[in-house]
Amino acid sequence: MAVLAQFQKQGIGTSLIKTGHKIAKKMGFEYSILLGNPEYYSRFGYKPASEFNILCPFDTLKEYFMAINLTNGKNSILNAKVEYPKEFLRATGKP
């Protein structure tokens, strides 16, 4: 998700996140996982994914690889490793 600088601080990002969570819940997803700024995403309840034992497939600062449980605050441990599509990895320069 990204909002152009001239449109930031207007609630657009917050609306996108909340709407995304609502859609994900409707679709039956239990977690949302992202790479992002912890100062921003922690406002929405995101925590380091390592707290859920969700592993990133490449090296990154653990505080930037984040997750939130979308099912009313349950915090089950997943013991999982995220797999990204090869297109994402190529775009980020990750192996």
Which pLDDT score, from 0 to 100, does residue 95 have?
58
Ranges under pLDDT 50 in the chain: none
Separation of alpha carbons 43 and 37, rounded Å: 11
* Amino acid (1-letter code) at residue 25: K
In sequence order, the β-bridge partners of residue 22 are none
| 24 and 63 Cβ atoms separated by less than 8 Å | no
Which pLDDT score, from 0 to 100, does residue 76 have?
74
